[in-house]
Chain A
Amino acid sequence: MPRQLLRDGRVVADDWQYLAEFEGAEAAGDVPALIVPFARWLTERADWLSRAAGRLGVVLKPADKVEQLGPDVARLTLIAAEFPGPTDGRGYTQGRLLRERYGFTGELRAAGYVRRDQLFFLARCGFNSFELPEAELGTALSAFSTFSAAYQPSNDAGLRQPLEHR
């Protein structure tokens, strides 16, 4: 069964593959919707762009520099940030920078360690797709409305207005 994830508030089957999951990546020719590690994107950028039939994604590790990806975001349909565990919060900054500084409008995916308790914060940083554990997929939706308002502006377009300070 293909991986399921939460995207734009709905549980859907994942229509993307990570490079490591794709057999035949080393052969020439077109590739399906593929998510390439940032390190390989840096060195093989032109190759992947020519082989992608319209849809290409890149996955970032926490230490990867978003500014190196910035000029290319319009060529990408998906960018994923990998969260290695419950404490590493660099992906939140990566998300905001991709949306707010580099204007990325495609699918921004939280990958790796993603749990319902992070969703409110991830969504406010611009993420719209979440690789949750299967057990949480059905119930996690309510986590987006954990809080009804927010004190600070963030990447909230379409989500909610910041709370009037009080």
Chain B
Amino acid sequence: MDKKLVDERVAEFRDQTRRFLAGELSDDEFRHLRLRNGLYIQTHAPMLRVAIPYGLLSSVQLRMLGSIARRYDRGYGHFTTRQNLQYNWPKLETVPDILADLATVEMHAIQTSGNCIRNTTSDHLAGVTPNELEDPRPWCEIIRQWSTFHPEFYYLPRKFKIAVTGAPQDRAASLVHDVGVHIVRNAAGELGFEILAGGGLGRTPIIGQVVRDFLPREHLLSYLEAILRVYNLEGRRDNLTKARIKILVKSLGIDEFKRRVEAEWELIRDGGLRVDEAEVARMRSFFAPPAYKRLANSEPATGKDAAFRAWYRYNTVEHKVPGYRVVYVSLKAPDVAPGDATDAQMELIADLADRYSFGEIRVTHTQNLLLADVEQEQTFELWQTLAAHGLATPNVGTLTDMICCPGLDFCSLANASSIDVAKLINDRFDDYDYLYDLGELEVKMSGCMNACGHHHVGHIGILGVDKGGEPWYQVTIGGAAGADASLGSVIGPSVKKADVPETIARLLAVYVEHRQDDERFLDTVRRLGVKPFKDRVYAASVAA
């Protein structure tokens, strides 16, 4: 990001904080200003959310994030489902200093909260996955620049999130974003975009709908501007829980929404927002592939011990360049809150990125980190170091690779804790042979209906609810966040915290009994429906 703009932003916020502390700005006035700098006032302390555009970090930046965690916080940070990082214990008066330190590595907290256009997220395998049509990151950057300090869309009815994907698999949960942008090819062989709108989780979960099935690439920004303009003028502002674009799309109907967007777009499509090919080429140059060696594919796991083989199988995936492998750095160790990393871990991962992966780290929306370009022959050495520092839990894509919000322990919105439920689940399901046998399974947990943990789109979703002052947990099954996105169905009455692991165990028992061939848990639920699962869970009532 442009260094000068970031510096100017720090100066602006320093002055706003000073005016607030001097009593010149009221709580409410300051609130809207601090939110646009990622600063929440939370249960224990302010929470600062740092932007990581489309989840991409340099080693220098990650080292700074670790350093800030040590100097201003309690020695750790929390990676989020939107590829950002949160600090849970900063002091309000030090936030301008934190922002100034971030600015030295061209980082910031601009528009990470507040009712404005948020961080644009993307596929964490962008540029390295074998079957993508095109690397989506240059388009994310084009959107990021357009949306930064957009003068017209800085005070929207509600927050606005955009995700961009370039592969058939959707690893960015784009169908539950306010706008999803999919790179697609039309019948004439040209690349362009499918545009979806109106997806979202929270109190009213909805899968996004197609607004335009093919948008020529040069019109991306004018089309987004048309959508935002319709939303800014027509979105509800009288009720916070009905203010997201999904409610507007739902109330107008997709056809009428589309008609309004297209009518607006016709008036601005040939204006100053056209993205020409030279600009696209220049953006692409920032995401040029690193200097890969010419290598042949190998079998690094052959003959190695079982622990490495398990890790290699679950925590690494195919790379499009021969001889390379994509490596997940698991932030889902059994004794750690999902998505948390310590200052020392962040600095270590930065060093490992320099040594093994061209100095680049990515954040996944499943709250892990990723080293995208590791030579296959170096994976064993890398694994040994990761394992020694609690970063090689071989559970990526399995039950214990849970997505989890900070919950009641940190968040003032939450009804119930989620981190200690994750701990209970980890304690119960510690047999890796069983986890591997269960195969791909996404468990997602939110401490309240704001759904930061994406529970609606978990194969198993867990939602904290408040019942007479006590935390209870509502369980859904059959949700999915990918290209085949669906919302989970509630299995029945909510259960007590202590019964969550048993509930999951019963769901899984039904799956193991009924699965056919290589069917995933999700597929079995889709085939059988909720009933057999529900019957088992409530048979000898765990939900007493």
- Measured CB to CB, the residues of A under 8 A from B are 62, 86-90, 92-93, 96, 101, 115, 117, 120-122, 124-125, 135, 146-154, 162-163, 165-166
Contact = CB atoms under 8 A, between A and B. Distances in A.
A165 B153 contact: no
A147 B154 CA distance: 15
Given A149-B5, A153-B273, A165-B279, A92 B152 contact: yes
Interface in B149-174: 149-156
B4 A149 contact: yes
Contacts of B28: 86
Nearest to A163: B2
Given A124-B151, A151-B148, A152-B146, A146 B273 contact: no
B233 A93 contact: yes
B526 interface: no
A146 B145 contact: no
A24 to B, nearest CB: 36
Interface string B220-254: 01000000010011000100000000000000000
A26 to B, nearest CB: 33
A62 B232 CA distance: 10
B271 interface: yes
Instruction: Place the interface of chain B in its size category.
Output: 35 or more
Interface of B: 2, 4-5, 8-9, 12, 16, 24, 28-29, 32-33, 115, 142, 145-146, 148-156, 221, 229, 232-233, 237, 267, 271-273, 279, 282-283
A87 B279 contact: no
Contact of B152 (A62, A96, A135, A147): A96
B271 A90 contact: no
Contacts of B8: 146-148
A20 to B, nearest CB: 24
A101 B150 CA distance: 18
Given A92-B154, A92-B155, A151 B271 contact: no
Query: Chain A interface secondary structure, helix, strand, loop or mixed?
Result: loop
A149 B33 CA distance: 20
B154 A153 contact: no
Nearest to B32: A86
Contact of B154 (A96, A115, A121, A150): A121
A151 B115 contact: no
A129 B209 CA distance: 41
Contact of B151 (A87, A115, A121, A163): A121
A165 B283 contact: yes
Given A96-B152, A152-B273, 7 more contacts: A87-B32, A89-B155, A89-B156, A150-B149, A153-B271, A163-B2, A166-B2
B232 A117 contact: no
A165 B138 CA distance: 12
A125 B273 CA distance: 15
23 contacts: A86-B32, A86-B155, A87-B237, A89-B115, A89-B153, A92-B155, A93-B229, A93-B232, A96-B152, A120-B151, A135-B24, A146-B8, A147-B9, A147-B149, A150-B149, A152-B146, A153-B271, A154-B150, A154-B152, A162-B272, A163-B2, A165-B145, A165-B282
Contacts of B279: 165
A117 B282 contact: no
Contacts of B233: 90, 93
Contacts of A62: 237
B37 to A, nearest CB: 12
A75 to B, nearest CB: 22
A110 to B, nearest CB: 12
Contacts of B115: 87, 89
Contact of A88 (B2, B5, B237, B272): B237
A23 to B, nearest CB: 34
B274 to A, nearest CB: 10
Contacts of B273: 152-153
B229 A152 contact: no
B267 A101 contact: yes
Given A146-B8, A147-B5, A148-B8, A86 B29 contact: yes
Contacts of B33: 117
Given A117-B33, A149-B5, A153-B271, A88 B155 contact: yes
Given A147-B5, A151-B148, A166-B2, A89 B272 contact: no
Contact of B2 (A89, A96, A149): A149
Contacts of A152: 145-146, 150-151, 221, 273
Contacts of A101: 267
Nearest to B144: A151
A147 B151 CA distance: 12
A125 B155 contact: no
Contacts of B283: 165
Contacts of B145: 151-152, 165
